[in-house]
Amino acid sequence: MEYVPNILFAIALFVGIGFFVRNVKKLSRNIKLGKNVDVSDNKSQRWRNMVRIALGQSKMVVRPVAGFMHIIVYVGFIIINIEVLEIILDGLFGTHRLFASLGSIYNFLIGSFEVLAFLVIVAVVVFWIRRNIIRLQRFIKPEMEGWPKKDGNMILYIELVLMTLFLTMNAADSQLQQLGAEHYVQAGSFPISQFIMPLLDGLSASTLIFIERTAWWLHILGILAFLNYLYYSKHLHILLAFPNTYYGKVKPKGALNNLESVTNEVKLMMDPNADPFAAPPEGTETAVPEKFGASDVMDLNWVQLLNAYTCTECGRCTSECPANLTGKKLSPRKIMMDTRDRLEEVGKNMDANKGEFVPDGKQLLDDYISREELWACTTCNACVQACPVSIDPLSIIIEMRRFLVMEQSAAPMELNNMMSNIENNGAPWPYNQMDRLNWVNE
């Protein structure tokens, strides 16, 4: 009987981490549905970006209030994980406050965890007020209705509950230490939970132990549950922000990629020695010509799909988008959310069909992202600049425009006129190329 809690704990840990691993595998499989893209360049720049943008939160503080609050929650999350390590070891070995032998260092650590936990609670409350009372513009856009709104609040509730459990556990623990209860070593300092202690005054040791144990168990089970909530939530950014900032664009924002498949065809077209009637080389007869641009998630590259899973739906992109600011349908955040939703749908389809995708008559274009949204983009890069985790919604918009223009010839009529002018006379307007120098003498 003595080892029952240890065994239960080990099972909970195993199940929690097991499910998490399964989710990570699914995540990685879905991301790999994207096309390959070479990201082996600029390694040192990429590492620097990750350290500065993800670890150092450099782009969060562009908006100081949200940025500062976010850093509190972020630092709190990372540092309090040291405590989680102790909890896991205690749980497995049946010890209590295993690290207590660190003495004054331990006291300092526990004290600072408490202060951080309190600050996290304050930040979470402020975040909740911004979303639900102040109702900041960017949190109430159409794409935030339903699950995304619930998800945002759910994360705040979970964090609030976890921090409260942590402080309650400490309060009961320190009360038990004062009572000299067996098993409860004198350790830790409790700058915040001391204010909860009066609530526990006069309770018997056994009641206190019950409170302490309950809080302890709920806290760790809550953490394990939260870990498994990530996959279904925008909160996945706490993990993916790191790879995403590493793989994010290192070229100047204005540089779009040149499609290699097009380069090959253009070279052939411009080669005076090419035989237009030549048969394709041996062995390539059956090759399907590569599709230009993207109409579905599999046509995007895997970094773009990673972008979609990393998006935390903060809406900084949308709040800076000139099209969105002037009432157009385009919202860069919705582009990312749609990409993730469609990718999830494709993933579920594969799960249900033994790992093979069975065409479902749907695609990212039209079923998720409308043409009206795609054509409203000014390619100004405001969304890319605003993103605190290096997501590039513009690259997806361009890839989908490429599909519309090169596979479907479905550009707006005025743009078709502009393009035929370039084809005919080398300028977007219908002027004679021989008149290019007239401005000198006008």
Partner 1 sequence: MSEQLKVKTMQEFMAEGKQPEILFWVGSAGSYDDRAKKISRAFVKLLNKANVDFAVLGSEESSTGDVAKRAGNEFLFQMQAMMNIELLNGYEIKRIVTCDPHSFNTLKNEYPNLGGNYDVLHHTQYLKELMDAGRLTFQGETYKGKRITFHDPCYLGRANTVYDAPREVLAKTNAELVEMKRHRTNALCCGAGGAQMFKEPEKGNMDINVLRTKDALETNANIIATGCPYCNTMMTDGIKAHEREDSVTVLDVAELLANSL
Query: What is the contact surface with partner 1 in residues (CB under 8 A)?
Result: 251-256, 258-259, 262-263, 265-267, 269-270, 292-293, 320, 322-323, 325-330, 372, 375-382, 384-386, 398, 400-406, 411-412, 414-415, 417-419, 422-423, 426-429, 431, 433-442
* Residue among 45, 28, 36 at smallest CA distance from 251: 45
Give me the least distance between CB of 88 and partner 1, in Å please.
43
* Residue among 332, 262, 331, 345 at smallest CA distance from 304: 332
Query: Which lies closer to partner 1 via its Cβ, residue 164 or residue 381?
Result: 381
CB distance 81 to 89 below 8 Å: no
Angle made by CA atoms 154, 157, 160, in degrees to the nearest 5 = 150
Query: Which lies closer to partner 1 via its Cβ, residue 16 or residue 393?
Result: 393
Give me the least distance between CB of 435 and partner 1, in Å please.
7
Sign of CA pseudo-dihedral 332, 334, 337, 340: negative
In sequence order, the 6+-apart residues with CB closer than 8 A to the CB of 410 are: 371, 404
Give me the least distance between CB of 433 and partner 1, in Å please.
6
Query: Which lies closer to partner 1 via its Cβ, residue 204 or residue 258?
Result: 258
In sequence order, the 6+-apart residues with CB closer than 8 A to the CB of 333 are: 141, 143, 311, 313, 314, 315, 317, 318, 393
Query: Which lies closer to partner 1 via its Cβ, residue 260 or residue 282?
Result: 260
Tell me the C-alpha distance between 220 and 352, whole Å. Answer: 33
Query: Which lies closer to partner 1 via its Cβ, residue 177 or residue 421?
Result: 421
Give me the least distance between CB of 69 and partner 1, in Å please.
20
Give me the least distance between CB of 418 and partner 1, in Å please.
4
Give me the least distance between CB of 290 and partner 1, in Å please.
12
Query: Which lies closer to partner 1 via its Cβ, residue 101 or residue 263?
Result: 263
Determine phi and psi for 146, rounding to 5 degrees: 80, -135
